[in-house]
Amino acid sequence: MKDWIGWHEGYNDPQSSLSTRLARVQAHLANALAAVPPGPIQLLSLCAGQGHDVLGVLPDHPRRGDVRALLVELDPVNAALARDRAKVAGLTRIEVREADAALTANYADAVPADVLLLCGIFGNVSSDDIRATATAAAVMCRPGGTVLWTRHRRPPDLTPRLRSWFGEAGFDEVAFESAPTATMTGVGVFRRRTSDLPTESLLPTGPLFTFRAE
């Protein structure tokens, strides 16, 4: 299995594709939070790792006091590091939950979210799992909510299909960026439409995705 603790070392290299991706995700996250109407903001980050995406934005964001965030991370070491970073930053409304993000029951209390992060997932699961997760995202986001996702663009480049899957699920594309690095990481930003989802739609009960063994 991949060393998910060591994987985070790429953030220490400002020239790495991981750092480039992080900067783009953080910029879009800051914009998404600013765009939420006045009032409380629910943020949900799946497979959150050490929390770099969220914890690099919230401490200095004008909407910091409005945000209640749930970061879901299975690895206990990464979860503990994210928890410690949130504590040091004084972010008392952030919960880091050590749990499997593939199971929606583990965060059903945090949906629908105003902002949903699906970063670091789609490059490690099958195309069927990606499509299933995109479909489920429409239930996990409230109308007008924003989802951010990442996926490398190495052949076969699935990002065109991924973008269409989110459209089919009831989202409009806000932005799509492709980092000019060797791995060509794509960052997608989509906003949930308000009229494409039946009110009785429920969260799927089975696993959304399974990480591939390496």
Task: Quote the number of domains for the chain.
Answer: 1
Omega prior to 180 cis, within 30 of 0: no
pLDDT of 178 reads 85
CA-CA-CA-CA dihedral for 35, 41, 45, 46, to nearest 10: -120
Residues 109-155 pLDDT 10s: 999 999 999 999 999 999 999 999 999 999 999 999 999 999 998 88
- In degrees, rounded to 5, the angle at the alpha carbon of residue 81 between the alpha carbons of residues 137 and 206 is 30
207 occurs within a structural domain: no
- Here the CATH number for the domain that contains residue 144 is 3.40.50.150
Query: What's the pLDDT score for residue 196?
Result: 64
Of all residues in the chain, what percent are helix, strand and coil, respectively (each to 5)?
Answer: 40, 25, 35
For residue 139, give its domain range.
4-192
Residues of the chain with pLDDT under 50: 199
* pLDDT at res. 19: 78
In this prediction, residue 198 carries a pLDDT of: 56
Reduce the DSSP state of residue 190 to 3 states and report it: strand
